[in-house]
Structure 1
Amino acid sequence: MTTEGSAVYRRRDATTTADDAETPEIRARRGPATLARFARPRADTRTTLAVVSDPHLSTDKEGTWKVFHRTEDRLRAAIADANDRGVDGVVFAGDLTEDGRPEDFDGAADVLADLDAPFVAVPGNHDVPKAFDDHDTPPVAEFADRFAPGEFPFRTQFGGVDVLGLNSASAPGGELDATHDGAISDDQLSWLESTLPETDAALVVSHHNLPGLDAAVGADGYAPHPPVGDAPAFVDALAGHDALHLSGHVHLPAAITGDVRGLVCPALSSFPQAYTLAEVGPEGTTLRMVPVADTEGVEEAHHLARTHSDRSGDIAAMVEDQLSDLPLVDER
C-alpha cells in the first residue's frame, strides 16, 4: 500500500478570534490533556513511556521562538515529572540539542543523569553534523553510543512495548547540506520490514514525520516541514502492522491516520512546552500532552512564537488550533 494517509488537523473558523475563546495559555496549562486514543498498539503488560521531542537544549543562547534560555529548565522539569510518574522508559524523538554543540550534548547528558528510568534517543537534524556548521558536531556514532543502544536502527523493550529507533536525520554522505529534511535509508527500511513482524506492540520513532500534514493544512496554508524522504516506502514498511509512529521536528502536535497511525509530538522547547505521555495497555494506546512550564512560562513561549517570525507565528497559530479541540483522534 502506498496511500500516504492524512493528518487530523483543525483550523479555527475565520470569523473566530482569540478573544472569543479561552486563551492558548490557559488551554496549554489545562493538561495533562489527551492528544489521541488509538485502538493499536496493545500490550498485555501496561506500559507508560515519556516521549520528549525537540528539547533544543542550549547552555548559552537566549531568545527565539524556541526560548533557548529556558531549555535546560524545561528538560529538567520533564525529567522530574517523568520520575514522579514512575514511567517505564523515556524516549527522545530528536533535536536533543540546539545545534549539536559538544557543550550542549554535555549539558543534556548532565540532565539525563537524573532520570530514574532507562532512556533511548534518536537524532534530529539539529543533532547531526551539517556542512554549514561553525563548530565541530560529534558524529552520529558518538550520539548512538551516548544516547542510544550504540547504533541505528535499534530495538529496545520497555515493559510490554518494543521501541524501534530510526535515524532520519543523517545524510548519506555524513553531513547535511543546508537543509533540515530527512530520510530513512534503505538499510533501515529493510531492517524495519524484517523486525516489525517480530513485535506485538511497537512504537517506531524517527525525528521526521510521516506524510499528511501538507494535505491537512489546505490551499491557504503550508506544512511546517516536508515529510520524511521517500515517504511512500516508509508508509509501506509500517502498513499492516499494529505499530504507532512517533516523531517531532514540526513543533506542532498532530495525529496521522490512514494506512498507518502516527503522532507528531508537541515540542518541549517552544509553545506549548510539553512532552507526551504514552500509555499502552490491553485496550490500546493513549497519548497525553503534559505541560512542563507554569502559566508565565507558557505565555512567554507563546509571545515569542507569535512575534519571532512569520513562520513561527504561523506554527503558533496551528498549535492553538490543535489545542482548541482535543483529542485529535479517538479510535476507542
Structure 2
Amino acid sequence: MTEGSGVQTLRRDAPIPEDDARTDAGTAEWAELSSRAEPATLARFDRPRTDDRTTLAVFADPHLSTDKEGTWKAYHRTEQRLRAAVADANDRDVDGVILAGDLTEDGRPEDFDGVADALADLNAPFVAVPGNHDVPKSFDDHDTPPVSEFADRFAPDEFPYRQRLGGVDVLGLNSASSPDGELDATHDGAISENQLAWLESTLPETDTALVVSHHNPPGLESHLAENHYAPHPPVGDSSAFVDALAGHDALHLSGHVHLPAAISGDVRGLVCPALSSFPQAYVLAEVGPEGTTLRMVPVADPAGVTEAHDLARTHSDRSADIAEMVERQLADLPLADER
C-alpha cells in the first residue's frame, strides 16, 4: 500500500516460472488463456451497482500501427488484435465500449485512421480517452493531431465528459496532455486542476460511475526489484486524484502499464491488461444490482499468446519485468474480491 493513498496493488506472493525455465509446458500455460470456456475473473467489487444490468468492453493500449513490426507490443499484430476485440464485443452484444488510451503506436494520422476504421464495425457506442502515445510530443517527427481532433473522432465531447452507456455513467478524463499542449517525456501524464474540480462536482451526481483515465494511481514502482525499471510513472499529482475519487462508489479504470492490477481501499479500480502486448486481452465489465465483475477476454489464439509472451520476455529489461508481473497477477485470480 502507498502510504496515505488507500491504494493496494500487485499481489506478489504467487510462484512464477523461472526465467530459464520457459519450457513448452510453461508457454502452454499462458497459451491456455485463449482457450478457456469462460473469461477469467480479474476482480469483483461491491460497487458500483445498477438495476439496469450493463455490460461494457474496455480496450486498453491497442497501440495500433499500420506499418511497424516487432517489439514487445507486437506492432504487426495490433490491427488484427483490435479488430478481434471489436468482433468479440459484438458477439457478446455489449452495451458499449470504452477505450482507455494509447489507441495508436505514436499518434500518426494514418494509425488514427486505422483505429477509426476498426471501430466503425462496432455494433455498440464507444467512448475513448487519449493516452500518452496519442497526443502531441515535443520530439515527434510527424504531425500528431491535437487532442481536440481526438475528442471529435473518439469521444462524445471535449474532456472531461460524462456519457451514459446502458445504466452506467462514464466519466472520461484526459490524463495525457501537458499544460502547454506537448509532452516532453513519452510516459508523462496528469489530471489538470479544472478536470479534478469537474470530477469532484460530477461524482456526487451519479451513483453508478466508471471514471476512465489512461494513467494509473501510484504504487506500482514499489513492487519491482531494485535493479529493474519501474513500469511507468503514475498520474501526476496522484494524491489529489485519489482524494477526488475517495468516498464515492465509482470504479476507476486505466491502462498505460500493460498489466492487470486491482486497486482497492479508498479507491476501487482496475489497471487493464493491454490489447497489444501479453496477454493481448480486453476487460469485460458487468455491472448489476450485486456490484461489478471484471473479466479478462483474450483476443489472440494460443500461438498469438505464446508469441506475445516470448516477445515481452526477450525484448528488454522493462518488458521482461512487465511480463513477469503479468504472470504473477494471472497466477492468483481474482485480484480483488469484495463479494
Return the match for 1:255 from 262, 265, 271: 262
Residues 15, 62 of structure 1: CA spacing in aligned structure 2 closer, same or farther, 3 A cutoff?
Answer: closer
**Range with greater deviation from structure 2 (213-222 or 239-248):** 213-222
CA–CA separation in structure 1 for the residues paired with 2:275 and 2:76: 13
| Matched position secondary structure for 2:328 | helix
CA–CA separation in structure 2 for the residues paired with 1:220 and 1:100: 31
| Matched position secondary structure for 1:293 | coil
Residues 32, 316 of structure 1: CA spacing in aligned structure 2 closer, same or farther, 3 A cutoff?
Answer: same
Q: Is the 8 A contact 2:279 2:308 kept in 1?
A: yes
Q: Is the 8 A contact 1:28 1:323 kept in 2?
A: no
CA–CA separation in structure 1 for the residues paired with 2:317 and 2:195: 36
In the alignment, structure 1 segments of 5+ residues that lack a partner are: none
CA–CA separation in structure 2 for the residues paired with 1:95 and 1:276: 16
Q: Equivalent residue for 2:32?
A: 26
The TM-score, its normalising length taken from structure 2, stands at 0.94
1:284 aligned to 2:291? yes
CA–CA separation in structure 2 for the residues paired with 1:253 and 1:235: 19
1:65 aligned to 2:67? no
Question: Can you list the C-alpha shifts for 1:192-247, whole angstroms capped at 9, x where unaligned?
Answer: 00000000110000000011323444667664112100011000000000000000
Return the match for 1:212 from 198, 206, 219: 219
**Range with greater deviation from structure 2 (240-249 or 209-218):** 209-218
**Range with greater deviation from structure 2 (10-19 or 92-101):** 10-19
Q: CA-atom RMSD, angstroms?
A: 1.8
Q: Equivalent residue for 2:232?
A: 225
Give the fraction of aligned pairs with identical amino acids, expressed as a percent: 76
CA–CA separation in structure 2 for the residues paired with 1:83 and 1:210: 31
1:301 aligned to 2:308? yes
Residue 60 of structure 1 deviates from its aligned partner by: 0.5
| Matched position secondary structure for 2:251 | strand
Residues 14, 86 of structure 1: CA spacing in aligned structure 2 closer, same or farther, 3 A cutoff?
Answer: closer
- 1:177-216 to 2 correspondences below 5 Å: 177-216=184-223
Letter matched to residue 273 of structure 1: Q
CA–CA separation in structure 2 for the residues paired with 1:175 and 1:232: 23
Residue 3 of structure 1 deviates from its aligned partner by: 2.4
Question: Can you list the C-alpha shifts for 1:47-76, whole angstroms capped at 9, x where unaligned?
Answer: 000000000001010011000111111000
Question: Can you list the C-alpha shifts for 1:277-317, whole angstroms capped at 9, x where unaligned?
Answer: 00000000000000000001111111111111111111111
Q: Equivalent residue for 1:130?
A: 137
CA–CA separation in structure 1 for the residues paired with 2:97 and 2:15: 37
CA–CA separation in structure 2 for the residues paired with 1:304 and 1:220: 21
Q: Equivalent residue for 2:11?
A: 9
Question: Can you list the C-alpha shifts for 1:6-35, whole angstroms capped at 9, x where unaligned?
Answer: 214234448966568772222454351000
Q: Equivalent residue for 1:173?
A: 180
CA–CA separation in structure 2 for the residues paired with 1:259 and 1:51: 23
1:159 aligned to 2:166? yes
Q: How many residues align?
A: 332
Residue 188 of structure 1 deviates from its aligned partner by: 0.1
CA–CA separation in structure 1 for the residues paired with 2:33 and 2:330: 7
| Matched position secondary structure for 1:195 | helix
Q: Is the 8 A contact 1:93 1:205 kept in 2?
A: yes
In the alignment, structure 2 segments of 5+ residues that lack a partner are: none
1:237 aligned to 2:237? no
Residues 28, 317 of structure 1: CA spacing in aligned structure 2 closer, same or farther, 3 A cutoff?
Answer: farther
CA–CA separation in structure 2 for the residues paired with 1:44 and 1:220: 48
The TM-score, its normalising length taken from structure 1, stands at 0.95
Letter matched to residue 116 of structure 2: A
| Matched position secondary structure for 2:295 | strand
Q: Equivalent residue for 1:107?
A: 114
Residue 128 of structure 1 deviates from its aligned partner by: 0.2
**Range with greater deviation from structure 2 (199-208 or 15-24):** 15-24
- 1:34-73 to 2 correspondences below 5 Å: 34-73=41-80
